[in-house]
Amino acid sequence: MCGRFVATAPPSELADYFQAVLNETVVNADLEPSYNVAPTNAVHAVRANDGHREIDTMKWGLVPSWAKDPKIGSKMINARAETVASKPAFRSAIKKRRCLVPATGFYEWHKIEGQKAKQPYYITRADSEPVVFAGLWEAWKPKPDTEAFDRAVEEGGDPENLPWLISCTLMTTDPNKEMKTIHHRMPVLIPPGDWDRWLDPTNGYDQIEDLLVPGPDDLLKLTPVTTRVNSVRNKGAELIEPAELS
């Protein structure tokens, strides 16, 4: 799975890199750089909008349109490539609501035989280019006569015009040779030449299915780091400093 990542690029830099425009939510959110982005955090994501790329702010943890409560999103941070087309939570989004989630790198934990604590690794592209996750997104708002609707109104929401919650999930697949040394899964990474094909909502599942594969074996660089990353409260640059393996 992919459960933590690093996002340090400012929106203006992302706009240049993806040749995209900034949605007003990005400006309003004003996300701080984070070396420990965790599920339910707000993240930047790229999606197609009227023929161009747009950078939006989304909550990490997909909330299906049919969900009764947004809390379900905490269980929907990843979507498996092997089952995404059949799972009720993802089968609609994979057809027409795909996004890209940029990152500086991501973390994974390696279980070491005979040790209770897992060894965390910070994983980047070997060529120092940004990591670009394949993602899916959904729009959700509470329906009347539900606890979520009543709660939103109690918190000051306009019952006639409650805001949409835009959320996302990250795709995962089998590991490549490098990732296999520490974990049995890896995120699906989309190369620049396939960004538009992935984002285009007119492309059906059969036109993007071939992208749901492991990255090349020489794509990634794995660096052991300290267990300080285990705590979501820690967000600083010290988290990606290399650590010696015991």
> What are the E-state strand segments in the chain?
5-7, 21-22, 34-37, 42-49, 52-60, 78-80, 98-103, 105-110, 119-125, 131-140, 165-173, 186-187, 220-224
Overall residue count recorded for the chain in this entry: 246
d(CA 112, CA 122): 16
The residues with which 138 forms a beta bridge, in sequence order, are 167
Residue 108 is a catalytic residue: yes
**Catalytic position from the list 54, 108, 138, 178:** 108
DSSP single-letter state for residue 198: H
Q: Are 220 and 200 in contact (CB under 8 A)?
A: no
CA torsion sign, 118 to 136 to 129 to 12? negative
According to DSSP H, which parts of 86-240 are helical?
A: 93-96, 147-154, 195-199
What are the tokens at 46?
Answer: 């790229």
d(CA 213, CA 47): 20
**CB proximity list for 246: less than 8 A, separation 6 or greater:** none
Active site residues: 2, 108
